[in-house]
A and B are shown apart, each in its own frame.
Chain A
Amino acid sequence: MSGNPAKVRLSREHCRTLLHQMLRIRRFEEKCAELYTQEKIRGFLHLYIGEEAVAVGVMQALAPEDAVVATYREHGHALMKGVPADTIMAEMFGKQEGCSGGRGGSMHLFDTEHRFYGGNAIVAGGLPIAAGLALADTLADRSRITTCFFGEGAVAEGEFHEALNLAALWQLPVLFVCENNLYAMGTALDLSESQTDISAKAACYDIASEAVDGMDVVAVEVAARRAVAAIHETGRPRFLECRTYRFRAHSMYDPQLYRAKEEVEAWKERGPIRRFKTWAFEAGELRESDVAEIEAEIAREIDQAVAFAQDGTWEPVADLTRHVGAERRP
């Protein structure tokens, strides 16, 4: 593995956790894809498969009180932030037991108890929100941070530049994590950006930035821990570009005309789960029996989540106009 594992406790237990969490996201989303074909899940469904090392690695560095703002490809982030698989699955079924009461769906998972603030489906729309969450913490003198995940497509939006400038200018405790999977839907990075080195853009705003192999969960964790420590130490934002790849289509409607099958296969060879498992086996940290145990635990959790979603109930249509404004005002 690359990075600096010396700063991460790569105990057997920690290795098990990293593999468990990556596999958990993978299996959860494979189940989602299956349920989509069965029309249990509808609307847009954006899978994170291939990119699991980013959410899993970054979240190792976060505390429960830290806030997360993510994108419409956020099932993995929600799972990692502690949102129960049950309520995520129920949300995707559109049931009122879902983490957003069935009002949000796959793209708008929310759970304030776990400080998970969406689920934002406007590209770059979450960056100003993250800056604001951090501003409130600064004003209230709380020492927690906000982490904002977004794709490299967001870099083309004005809100990316406005928010980075504001966060640096006002010294806001935000960890910006760019999940660079090389394609904004079907548009390759070099077809949309004059400067394709994204971490260099952050540096323009005087934000310390780092690019890391986003297929290497340990490298991501090391970089994230370093960034979070620096944010706490300096009160300033940090930027982390994780170079990764989406194995599946952009959404369930994407025929993937914009990239070669060989390219996808080459990235799968470097897949974060395959790679970490191979390393952990060779290092003697994990064995096949561990993987079997993990898979069994995950299968149980997912079966339970699907049953929970299936057993969930539809919000009465009489409640249609709820959650537009407060039910009680002063």
Chain B
Amino acid sequence: MTDLTYREAMRGAIRTAMQEDERVFLMGEDVGHYGGCYAVTKGLLEEFGPQRIRDTPLSESAFTGAGIGAAMNGVRPIVEIMTCNFSLLALDQIMNNAATMRHMSGGQVTVPIVIRMATGGGRQLAAQHSHSLEGWYAHIPGLRVLAPATVEDAGGMLGPALADPDPVLIFENALLYNETGPAGDPGSVDIDHAAIRREGSDISLITYGGSLGKTLAAAGQLAGDGIDAEVLDLRVLRPLDDDAILATLAKTRRCVIVDEGWRSGSLSAEIMARIVEQGFWTLDAPLARVCSEEVPIPYAAHLEEAALPSAEKIVTAARTVLGR
């Protein structure tokens, strides 16, 4: 099977969607002539022309809102926001319009838009380009929030996201763009379920997006010590796949959650709450989690590294839960 980069898989998915459905178009900052801030859209302007690959002004609110309005009127926009920190400039449109339009209109107005954005730290880009805000968006009813962590998901999630009648946000951890992996079968990818990425029986490590690689590395280290960890990739951050979370917990009875968001009010907190509500009696040990430290992401490499989840932190947390 062919290996691709995550970036190539995403680009291929955009190309396929645009070839298959003439209603699909893409807009965002530097997606055309520049080729995309992360080069995801490189070459697409030449292939599809400026009507369908639209460079926008630095007006996150206007072009996201325009995408929402266009989606309300029969086309299928893909809006690219350069990083999730910039998405805060469009938060009014995402939260007050995209997420609410169906509801406020009593079901009449639908917003089938896909909004893609880069997320995550680890590139010494400091405190305005490095945050993981997907957990915030996962708070909002009316949105579906995806976090493709593998090349196969990068290539496969866009199609079903565009077919969804409601707004879908895709968070692409920027460290993943150069990762290579098997293209897989994009046609078999869903946007409803979590996926087991490593089978195990001693402890469940629950994670998503850019933390999946670190978590699998941690599971590898634990295996060297005879600890058999199961790794669950959430894939869909809203709505959460409660069944998959409870199923892995029923198997291992112990759990560490790995979330690049800050701890307070985080997605990891929500998962812990659900486990306590629905799976308390299956637990053999207190829950644990590895999150980003509660600090804006610093520039200096050693400080940034200390702020983010790491395989070592995950191993330590797992050992603590297991008492060995």
Question: Given A103-B105, A329-B164, does the pair A162, B62 have CB atoms closer than 8 Å?
Answer: yes
Question: Given A110-B105, A326-B165, does the pair A139, B65 have CB atoms closer than 8 Å?
Answer: no
Residues on A with beta carbons closer than 8 Å to the beta carbon of B51? 139
Q: B142, A131: Cβ atoms under 8 Å?
A: no
Q: A108, B57: Cβ atoms under 8 Å?
A: no
User: B67 near A: Cβ within 8 Å?
Assistant: yes
User: A313 near B: Cβ within 8 Å?
Assistant: no
Chain B 66-77, CB-CB to A under 8 Å as 1, else 0, gives 111111111101
Q: B106, A110: Cβ atoms under 8 Å?
A: yes
Q: B75, A128: Cβ atoms under 8 Å?
A: no
Q: A326, B110: Cβ atoms under 8 Å?
A: yes
Residues on A with beta carbons closer than 8 Å to the beta carbon of B107? 101, 322-323
User: A130 near B: Cβ within 8 Å?
Assistant: yes
Q: B72, A158: Cβ atoms under 8 Å?
A: no
Q: A165, B103: Cβ atoms under 8 Å?
A: no
User: A209 near B: Cβ within 8 Å?
Assistant: no
Cα distance A139–B71 when bound, in Å?
12
Q: B65, A325: Cβ atoms under 8 Å?
A: no
Cα distance A325–B69 when bound, in Å?
17
Q: B69, A132: Cβ atoms under 8 Å?
A: yes
User: A129 near B: Cβ within 8 Å?
Assistant: yes
Q: A129, B69: Cβ atoms under 8 Å?
A: yes
Q: B103, A323: Cβ atoms under 8 Å?
A: yes
Q: B25, A139: Cβ atoms under 8 Å?
A: yes
Cα distance A139–B54 when bound, in Å?
12
User: B104 near A: Cβ within 8 Å?
Assistant: yes
Q: A110, B109: Cβ atoms under 8 Å?
A: yes
Further pairs besides A96-B106, A162-B57: 11, Cβ < 8 Å: A110-B106, A112-B105, A117-B69, A118-B105, A130-B69, A132-B66, A133-B72, A135-B66, A159-B92, A325-B144, A326-B164
Residues on B with beta carbons closer than 8 Å to the beta carbon of A67? 73
User: A3 near B: Cβ within 8 Å?
Assistant: no
Cα distance A133–B65 when bound, in Å?
10
Q: In residues 79-130 of chain B, which contact A (Cβ within 8 Å)? A: 92-93, 96-97, 101-110
Question: Given A101-B107, A117-B109, A130-B69, does the pair A136, B75 have CB atoms closer than 8 Å?
Answer: yes
Q: Which residue of B lies closest to A69 (CB)?
A: B69
Q: B97, A120: Cβ atoms under 8 Å?
A: yes
Q: A129, B65: Cβ atoms under 8 Å?
A: yes
Chain A 162-183, CB-CB to B under 8 Å as 1, else 0, gives 1101100110000000000000
Question: What is the interface of chain B, defined by CB distance below 8 A to chain A?
Answer: 23, 25, 51, 54, 56-57, 59, 61-75, 77, 92-93, 96-97, 101-110, 141-142, 144, 160, 163-166
Q: B69, A162: Cβ atoms under 8 Å?
A: no
User: A324 near B: Cβ within 8 Å?
Assistant: yes
CB distance from B216 to the nearest CB of A (A): 30
Chain A CB within 10 A, most for which of B63, B69, B102, B109: B69
Question: Given A103-B104, A135-B70, A323-B103, does the pair A125, B25 have CB atoms closer than 8 Å?
Answer: no
User: A330 near B: Cβ within 8 Å?
Assistant: yes
Q: A330, B160: Cβ atoms under 8 Å?
A: yes
Residues on B with beta carbons closer than 8 Å to the beta carbon of A326? 102, 110, 164-166
Q: B97, A102: Cβ atoms under 8 Å?
A: no
Q: A125, B103: Cβ atoms under 8 Å?
A: no
User: A74 near B: Cβ within 8 Å?
Assistant: no
Q: B106, A132: Cβ atoms under 8 Å?
A: no
Cα distance A213–B68 when bound, in Å?
33
User: A140 near B: Cβ within 8 Å?
Assistant: yes
User: A137 near B: Cβ within 8 Å?
Assistant: yes
Cα distance A121–B144 when bound, in Å?
24
Residues on A with beta carbons closer than 8 Å to the beta carbon of B73? 67, 132-133, 136-137
Q: A324, B65: Cβ atoms under 8 Å?
A: no
Residues on A with beta carbons closer than 8 Å to the beta carbon of B163? 330
Q: Which residue of B lies closest to A326 (CB)?
A: B165
CB distance from A317 to the nearest CB of B (A): 15
Q: A122, B102: Cβ atoms under 8 Å?
A: no
Residues on B with beta carbons closer than 8 Å to the beta carbon of A98? 106
Cα distance A102–B104 when bound, in Å?
8
Q: B72, A128: Cβ atoms under 8 Å?
A: no
Q: Which residue of B lies closest to A159 (CB)?
A: B61
Residues on B with beta carbons closer than 8 Å to the beta carbon of A100? 104-106, 108
Question: Given A128-B93, A162-B59, does the pair A108, B65 have CB atoms closer than 8 Å?
Answer: no
- Candidates A119, A159, A323; contact of B62 at CB < 8 Å: A159
Cα distance A191–B63 when bound, in Å?
30
Q: A104, B104: Cβ atoms under 8 Å?
A: yes
A–B pairs, 26, beta carbons within 8 Å: A100-B105, A103-B103, A104-B106, A118-B104, A118-B105, A120-B97, A125-B96, A125-B97, A128-B61, A128-B63, A128-B64, A128-B66, A128-B93, A129-B93, A129-B97, A131-B69, A132-B67, A135-B75, A136-B71, A140-B75, A159-B92, A166-B63, A166-B66, A323-B102, A324-B141, A326-B164
User: A51 near B: Cβ within 8 Å?
Assistant: no
Chain B CB within 10 A, most for which of A119, A122, A163, A325: A325
CB distance from B32 to the nearest CB of A (A): 13
- Which 6 pairs from chain A and chain B are nearest by CB? A132-B69, A128-B65, A101-B106, A162-B62, A136-B73, A110-B105
Cα distance A209–B103 when bound, in Å?
35
Q: B62, A165: Cβ atoms under 8 Å?
A: yes
Chain A 82-123, CB-CB to B under 8 Å as 1, else 0, gives 000000000000001011111110001011100001111010
Question: Given A103-B103, A103-B104, does the pair A132, B59 have CB atoms closer than 8 Å?
Answer: no
Q: B106, A103: Cβ atoms under 8 Å?
A: yes
CB distance from B30 to the nearest CB of A (A): 15
Q: B57, A165: Cβ atoms under 8 Å?
A: yes
Question: Given A125-B93, A162-B57, does the pair A135, B69 have CB atoms closer than 8 Å?
Answer: yes
